[in-house]
Amino acid sequence: MATATYTVKGMTCGHCVSSVKEEVGEVAGITSVEVDLASGLLTVESDSPVDTAKIVSAVEEAGYEVANPA
């Protein structure tokens, strides 16, 4: 099991959180997605490491930006 964290910029409400969770949750291999609105922290769990570009793309699809993607 792999865990990765990202900081998402631009979220302002619960709907923002839902959008990010939905898009990131659709990435193949993702088993769990947690988003903290106050800190902007996105925590992703997966069976094996997931390409950061796929996470960044999913966040952008939801309309937000990942700060300092690794």
Per-residue model confidence as pLDDT tens digits over 13-53: 999 999 999 999 999 999 999 999 999 999 999 999 999 99
Query: Quick one: 17 exposed, middle or buried, by C-beta within 10 A (0-12, 13-18, 19+)?
Result: buried
Q: What is the mean pLDDT of residues 56-63?
A: 97
Give 1-11 pLDDT, tens digit per residue.
999 999 999 99
- In the sheet where 30-36 sits, what is the strand order? 30-36, 41-46, 2-9, 65-67
Question: Is 70's pLDDT higher than 70?
Answer: no
